[in-house]
Amino acid sequence: MSKLPDLEAWAIFAKVAETGSFARTAAELALSQATVSKAITRLEGRMKTSLFHRTSRRMALTDAGSSALERATRILQEGEAVEADITDRSTSLRGQIRIAAPMSFGIARLSPILPKFMEMHPDVELNLHFADEQVDLIRDRFDLALRIANLSDSSLIARTLCKVRILLVGSPAYFERYGHPVHPRDLAQHKGLQYSLARYGTSWRFRHARHGEYTQVMPIQMQVNNAEALQPALLAGMGLALQPSFLVWQELRDGSLQTAMPGWEADVLSLNIVTPPGRTRPARVQAFMDYAAQQFMNEPWAELPPQLAENPLAV
Protein backbone atom coordinates (compact mmCIF):
# COMPACT_ATOMS: atom_id res chain seq x y z
CA MET A 1 0.00 0.00 0.00
CA SER A 2 1.34 3.45 -0.91
CA LYS A 3 1.90 5.96 1.86
CA LEU A 4 -0.43 8.86 2.43
CA PRO A 5 1.06 12.02 0.86
CA ASP A 6 2.75 14.31 3.37
CA LEU A 7 0.33 17.17 2.73
CA GLU A 8 1.54 19.25 5.67
CA ALA A 9 5.12 19.12 4.43
CA TRP A 10 4.07 20.07 0.89
CA ALA A 11 2.16 23.07 2.27
CA ILE A 12 5.24 24.11 4.26
CA PHE A 13 7.39 23.67 1.15
CA ALA A 14 5.09 26.02 -0.80
CA LYS A 15 5.33 28.64 1.94
CA VAL A 16 9.14 28.35 2.10
CA ALA A 17 9.30 28.83 -1.67
CA GLU A 18 7.09 31.93 -1.29
CA THR A 19 9.05 33.53 1.57
CA GLY A 20 12.53 32.32 0.66
CA SER A 21 13.26 31.71 4.33
CA PHE A 22 12.73 29.02 6.94
CA ALA A 23 12.53 31.70 9.64
CA ARG A 24 9.87 33.79 7.88
CA THR A 25 7.86 30.65 7.05
CA ALA A 26 7.99 29.56 10.68
CA ALA A 27 6.76 32.98 11.81
CA GLU A 28 3.90 33.11 9.29
CA LEU A 29 2.72 29.57 10.02
CA ALA A 30 3.23 29.87 13.80
CA LEU A 31 5.63 26.91 13.77
CA SER A 32 9.11 26.46 15.10
CA GLN A 33 11.97 26.85 12.64
CA ALA A 34 12.97 23.27 13.46
CA THR A 35 9.53 22.01 12.40
CA VAL A 36 9.83 23.79 9.07
CA SER A 37 13.33 22.44 8.48
CA LYS A 38 12.29 18.88 9.38
CA ALA A 39 9.31 19.04 7.01
CA ILE A 40 11.56 19.96 4.07
CA THR A 41 14.14 17.33 5.04
CA ARG A 42 11.34 14.77 5.31
CA LEU A 43 10.10 15.60 1.81
CA GLU A 44 13.57 15.48 0.28
CA GLY A 45 14.20 12.11 1.93
CA ARG A 46 10.92 10.79 0.66
CA MET A 47 11.46 12.15 -2.88
CA LYS A 48 15.13 11.17 -2.80
CA THR A 49 16.09 14.53 -4.28
CA SER A 50 16.80 18.08 -3.16
CA LEU A 51 14.05 20.68 -3.44
CA PHE A 52 16.21 23.71 -2.55
CA HIS A 53 19.74 24.86 -3.16
CA ARG A 54 20.87 26.28 0.19
CA THR A 55 23.75 28.68 0.78
CA SER A 56 24.54 30.88 3.75
CA ARG A 57 22.97 33.85 1.94
CA ARG A 58 20.01 32.53 -0.04
CA MET A 59 17.76 29.66 -1.00
CA ALA A 60 16.74 28.74 -4.53
CA LEU A 61 14.51 26.03 -5.92
CA THR A 62 16.12 23.08 -7.67
CA ASP A 63 14.59 21.78 -10.89
CA ALA A 64 12.65 19.22 -8.85
CA GLY A 65 11.45 21.95 -6.50
CA SER A 66 10.34 24.14 -9.41
CA SER A 67 8.34 21.32 -10.98
CA ALA A 68 6.60 20.59 -7.66
CA LEU A 69 5.87 24.20 -6.70
CA GLU A 70 2.61 24.79 -8.61
CA ARG A 71 0.88 21.71 -7.21
CA ALA A 72 2.30 22.24 -3.72
CA THR A 73 0.94 25.80 -3.79
CA ARG A 74 -2.49 24.42 -4.68
CA ILE A 75 -2.29 22.09 -1.68
CA LEU A 76 -1.55 25.06 0.59
CA GLN A 77 -4.28 27.20 -0.95
CA GLU A 78 -6.90 24.45 -0.86
CA GLY A 79 -6.05 23.69 2.76
CA GLU A 80 -6.38 27.35 3.70
CA ALA A 81 -9.63 27.63 1.75
CA VAL A 82 -11.30 24.61 3.33
CA GLU A 83 -10.33 25.72 6.84
CA ALA A 84 -11.58 29.25 6.18
CA ASP A 85 -14.86 27.89 4.80
CA ILE A 86 -15.46 25.51 7.70
CA THR A 87 -14.53 28.19 10.24
CA ASP A 88 -16.91 30.61 8.57
CA ARG A 89 -19.72 28.06 8.58
CA SER A 90 -19.15 27.21 12.24
CA THR A 91 -19.09 30.82 13.39
CA SER A 92 -21.62 32.43 11.04
CA LEU A 93 -25.36 31.91 10.94
CA ARG A 94 -25.62 30.17 7.61
CA GLY A 95 -25.79 26.60 6.39
CA GLN A 96 -28.12 23.68 7.05
CA ILE A 97 -29.55 22.45 10.36
CA ARG A 98 -30.94 18.90 10.41
CA ILE A 99 -33.62 18.52 13.08
CA ALA A 100 -35.64 15.48 14.20
CA ALA A 101 -38.82 15.75 16.25
CA PRO A 102 -41.88 13.66 17.20
CA MET A 103 -44.63 13.91 14.60
CA SER A 104 -47.40 15.43 16.72
CA PHE A 105 -45.14 17.84 18.54
CA GLY A 106 -43.34 18.78 15.35
CA ILE A 107 -46.53 19.67 13.51
CA ALA A 108 -48.48 21.22 16.38
CA ARG A 109 -45.78 23.11 18.30
CA LEU A 110 -42.43 23.17 16.45
CA SER A 111 -43.66 24.18 13.00
CA PRO A 112 -45.37 27.39 14.21
CA ILE A 113 -42.13 28.81 15.68
CA LEU A 114 -40.03 28.21 12.56
CA PRO A 115 -41.07 31.17 10.35
CA LYS A 116 -39.77 33.72 12.87
CA PHE A 117 -36.41 31.93 13.11
CA MET A 118 -36.21 31.76 9.31
CA GLU A 119 -36.92 35.47 9.08
CA MET A 120 -34.24 36.23 11.69
CA HIS A 121 -31.64 34.04 9.93
CA PRO A 122 -32.35 33.95 6.18
CA ASP A 123 -29.07 32.17 5.35
CA VAL A 124 -29.88 29.18 7.56
CA GLU A 125 -31.53 26.18 5.88
CA LEU A 126 -33.84 24.01 8.00
CA ASN A 127 -34.17 20.30 7.18
CA LEU A 128 -36.79 18.68 9.42
CA HIS A 129 -37.69 15.04 9.96
CA PHE A 130 -40.93 14.32 11.86
CA ALA A 131 -41.43 10.77 13.13
CA ASP A 132 -42.44 9.22 16.44
CA GLU A 133 -39.81 6.50 16.11
CA GLN A 134 -36.51 7.55 17.66
CA VAL A 135 -33.75 8.37 15.16
CA ASP A 136 -30.03 7.76 15.53
CA LEU A 137 -28.54 11.26 15.57
CA ILE A 138 -25.01 10.15 14.75
CA ARG A 139 -25.80 7.57 12.07
CA ASP A 140 -28.43 9.74 10.38
CA ARG A 141 -26.34 12.92 10.74
CA PHE A 142 -28.85 15.07 12.63
CA ASP A 143 -27.61 18.21 14.35
CA LEU A 144 -30.23 17.92 17.08
CA ALA A 145 -33.47 16.25 18.04
CA LEU A 146 -36.41 17.21 20.22
CA ARG A 147 -37.46 14.33 22.46
CA ILE A 148 -40.33 14.10 24.93
CA ALA A 149 -39.16 11.59 27.51
CA ASN A 150 -37.37 11.10 30.78
CA LEU A 151 -34.03 10.37 29.19
CA SER A 152 -31.78 7.54 30.22
CA ASP A 153 -28.04 8.08 30.40
CA SER A 154 -26.33 8.05 27.02
CA SER A 155 -23.46 9.63 25.16
CA LEU A 156 -25.85 12.27 23.79
CA ILE A 157 -25.92 15.73 25.33
CA ALA A 158 -29.35 16.74 26.62
CA ARG A 159 -30.83 20.12 27.49
CA THR A 160 -34.19 20.08 29.28
CA LEU A 161 -36.52 22.86 28.15
CA CYS A 162 -39.70 22.28 30.13
CA LYS A 163 -42.00 19.64 31.60
CA VAL A 164 -44.81 17.99 29.64
CA ARG A 165 -47.74 16.65 31.67
CA ILE A 166 -49.64 13.62 30.40
CA LEU A 167 -53.34 14.22 31.12
CA LEU A 168 -56.34 11.89 31.27
CA VAL A 169 -58.93 13.67 29.14
CA GLY A 170 -62.35 13.17 27.62
CA SER A 171 -65.15 15.28 26.19
CA PRO A 172 -68.14 16.60 28.22
CA ALA A 173 -70.40 14.37 26.08
CA TYR A 174 -68.37 11.30 27.01
CA PHE A 175 -68.50 12.06 30.73
CA GLU A 176 -72.22 12.77 30.54
CA ARG A 177 -72.78 9.37 28.98
CA TYR A 178 -70.33 7.24 30.98
CA GLY A 179 -69.68 9.25 34.14
CA HIS A 180 -66.44 10.59 35.63
CA PRO A 181 -63.90 8.05 36.88
CA VAL A 182 -62.57 9.05 40.30
CA HIS A 183 -60.06 6.20 40.82
CA PRO A 184 -57.88 4.35 38.27
CA ARG A 185 -59.79 1.09 38.92
CA ASP A 186 -62.91 2.82 37.55
CA LEU A 187 -61.22 2.91 34.13
CA ALA A 188 -61.98 -0.78 33.66
CA GLN A 189 -65.55 0.31 32.88
CA HIS A 190 -64.51 2.96 30.37
CA LYS A 191 -63.31 3.07 26.76
CA GLY A 192 -59.70 3.92 25.96
CA LEU A 193 -58.12 5.66 23.00
CA GLN A 194 -54.49 4.62 22.88
CA TYR A 195 -51.26 6.09 21.50
CA SER A 196 -49.68 2.80 20.45
CA LEU A 197 -46.05 3.91 20.88
CA ALA A 198 -46.53 4.95 24.51
CA ARG A 199 -44.03 3.24 26.81
CA TYR A 200 -46.76 2.20 29.27
CA GLY A 201 -48.86 0.42 26.62
CA THR A 202 -52.40 -0.40 27.76
CA SER A 203 -51.37 -0.48 31.45
CA TRP A 204 -52.22 3.07 32.48
CA ARG A 205 -50.29 4.07 35.60
CA PHE A 206 -51.16 6.91 37.95
CA ARG A 207 -49.79 8.37 41.17
CA HIS A 208 -51.58 9.99 44.08
CA ALA A 209 -49.96 12.04 46.84
CA ARG A 210 -51.69 9.97 49.56
CA HIS A 211 -52.69 6.71 47.89
CA GLY A 212 -49.45 5.98 46.00
CA GLU A 213 -49.36 4.26 42.62
CA TYR A 214 -52.08 2.34 40.83
CA THR A 215 -51.93 0.68 37.41
CA GLN A 216 -55.05 -0.24 35.48
CA VAL A 217 -55.21 -2.27 32.27
CA MET A 218 -57.40 -0.17 30.01
CA PRO A 219 -59.98 -1.52 27.55
CA ILE A 220 -58.88 -0.03 24.25
CA GLN A 221 -61.28 0.80 21.44
CA MET A 222 -58.80 2.47 19.09
CA GLN A 223 -55.00 2.59 18.78
CA VAL A 224 -52.98 4.96 16.61
CA ASN A 225 -49.25 5.58 16.21
CA ASN A 226 -49.72 9.36 16.25
CA ALA A 227 -51.27 11.02 19.30
CA GLU A 228 -52.76 13.90 17.31
CA ALA A 229 -54.95 11.42 15.41
CA LEU A 230 -56.80 10.67 18.66
CA GLN A 231 -58.21 14.21 18.86
CA PRO A 232 -61.28 13.76 16.59
CA ALA A 233 -62.40 10.63 18.45
CA LEU A 234 -61.77 12.34 21.80
CA LEU A 235 -63.81 15.39 20.82
CA ALA A 236 -66.57 13.16 19.46
CA GLY A 237 -66.93 11.45 22.85
CA MET A 238 -65.62 8.05 21.76
CA GLY A 239 -63.37 7.47 24.77
CA LEU A 240 -60.69 8.66 27.19
CA ALA A 241 -57.04 9.18 26.34
CA LEU A 242 -53.74 10.03 27.98
CA GLN A 243 -52.62 13.03 25.98
CA PRO A 244 -49.63 15.38 26.31
CA SER A 245 -50.48 18.85 27.57
CA PHE A 246 -49.24 20.53 24.38
CA LEU A 247 -51.94 18.76 22.34
CA VAL A 248 -54.94 19.45 24.59
CA TRP A 249 -54.29 22.72 26.44
CA GLN A 250 -56.45 24.76 24.06
CA GLU A 251 -59.34 22.29 24.24
CA LEU A 252 -59.09 22.25 28.03
CA ARG A 253 -59.18 26.03 28.02
CA ASP A 254 -62.28 26.25 25.82
CA GLY A 255 -64.04 23.35 27.56
CA SER A 256 -64.27 20.94 24.61
CA LEU A 257 -62.15 18.51 26.66
CA GLN A 258 -62.00 17.96 30.42
CA THR A 259 -59.63 16.16 32.76
CA ALA A 260 -60.68 13.32 35.06
CA MET A 261 -59.62 11.72 38.36
CA PRO A 262 -58.50 14.80 40.34
CA GLY A 263 -55.49 14.04 42.52
CA TRP A 264 -54.28 11.19 40.30
CA GLU A 265 -51.48 12.03 37.87
CA ALA A 266 -49.85 10.15 35.02
CA ASP A 267 -46.11 10.41 34.40
CA VAL A 268 -44.66 13.86 33.84
CA LEU A 269 -42.18 13.89 30.97
CA SER A 270 -39.58 16.41 29.83
CA LEU A 271 -39.14 18.19 26.52
CA ASN A 272 -35.45 17.88 25.72
CA ILE A 273 -33.08 18.99 23.01
CA VAL A 274 -30.47 16.30 22.43
CA THR A 275 -27.32 16.72 20.37
CA PRO A 276 -24.48 14.38 19.37
CA PRO A 277 -21.46 14.06 21.70
CA GLY A 278 -19.05 16.98 21.77
CA ARG A 279 -19.61 20.39 23.28
CA THR A 280 -18.57 22.38 20.20
CA ARG A 281 -21.38 22.93 17.73
CA PRO A 282 -21.87 25.34 14.79
CA ALA A 283 -23.19 28.78 15.67
CA ARG A 284 -26.34 28.22 13.61
CA VAL A 285 -27.20 25.10 15.67
CA GLN A 286 -26.56 26.87 18.97
CA ALA A 287 -28.70 29.80 17.79
CA PHE A 288 -31.60 27.47 17.00
CA MET A 289 -31.29 25.71 20.34
CA ASP A 290 -31.35 29.01 22.22
CA TYR A 291 -34.30 30.23 20.16
CA ALA A 292 -36.32 27.04 20.67
CA ALA A 293 -35.61 27.06 24.41
CA GLN A 294 -36.89 30.61 24.75
CA GLN A 295 -39.98 29.91 22.65
CA PHE A 296 -41.03 26.74 24.44
CA MET A 297 -40.45 28.15 27.91
CA ASN A 298 -43.11 30.74 27.05
CA GLU A 299 -45.69 28.26 25.74
CA PRO A 300 -48.96 28.19 27.75
CA TRP A 301 -48.82 24.41 28.23
CA ALA A 302 -45.16 24.32 29.38
CA GLU A 303 -44.25 23.76 33.01
CA LEU A 304 -40.75 24.86 33.92
CA PRO A 305 -38.68 22.72 36.28
CA PRO A 306 -38.01 24.69 39.50
CA GLN A 307 -34.43 25.64 38.58
CA LEU A 308 -35.55 26.98 35.21
CA ALA A 309 -38.51 28.84 36.63
CA GLU A 310 -36.13 30.66 38.96
CA ASN A 311 -33.55 31.34 36.24
CA PRO A 312 -34.91 30.80 32.69
CA LEU A 313 -31.51 31.52 31.13
CA ALA A 314 -29.76 28.74 33.06
CA VAL A 315 -30.43 26.01 30.52
Let me know if residue 184 belongs to a domain.
yes
Cα separation, 202 vs 61, in Å, equals 79
51 and 188 together in one domain: no
The reply to whether 308 falls in a domain is no
Alpha-carbon gap, residue 303 to 308, rounded angstroms: 10
- Residue 307 domain-assigned (yes or no): no
State yes or no: pLDDT of 311 exceeds 50: no
List, for residues 262-280, the tens digit of each pLDDT value. 999 998 899 999 998 876 7
- Is residue 262 assigned to a domain? yes
| Tally of structural domains, the chain | 3
For residue 169, the cross-strand partners are 241, 259
Supply the pLDDT for residue 2: 58
What's the pLDDT score for residue 175?
96
Instruction: Give domain status of residue 305, yes or no.
Output: no
- Global pTM value: 0.68
Beta bridge partners of 170: 258
Q: What is the pLDDT of residues 118-176, one digit of tens each?
A: 999 999 999 999 998 888 888 888 999 999 988 776 678 888 888 899 999 999 999 99
**CATH number of the domain where residue 239 is located:** 3.40.190.290
Q: What is the pLDDT of residue 281?
A: 80
Number of residues that make up the chain: 315
Quickly state the pLDDT bin for 289 (edges 50, 70, 90).
very high
What gap in Å lies between CA 310 and CA 308, rounded to an integer?
5
Give yes or no for residue 205 having a pLDDT over 90. Answer: yes
Q: What is the pLDDT of residue 90?
A: 62
Give the three-state DSSP class for 146: strand
Residue 157: partners with Cβ closer than 8 Å, 6 or more residues away: 274, 275, 276, 277, 278, 279
52: containing domain: 7-91
Residue 187, sorted as left (phi over 0), alpha (psi -120 to 50) or beta, turns out to be alpha
CA-to-CA separations, 102 to 108, 135, 189, 273, in angstroms, rounded: 10, 10, 31, 12
For 31-72, what is each residue's pLDDT tens digit? Answer: 999 999 999 999 999 889 999 988 777 888 999 999 998 898
Helix (H, G, I), strand (E, B) or coil at 305: coil
Percent of the chain with pLDDT over 90: 58
Question: Which pLDDT does position 315 carry in this prediction?
Answer: 30
- Residue 315 placed within a domain: no
In a domain, 1, yes or no: no
- Does 209 lie in the same domain as 170? yes
Is 201 in the same domain as 116? no
Residue 181 is predicted with a pLDDT of: 95
105 located within any domain: yes
Cβ contact 189:240 at 8 Å? no
Same domain, 13 and 79: yes
- Spatial contact of 88 and 81, defined as CB atoms under 8 Å apart: no
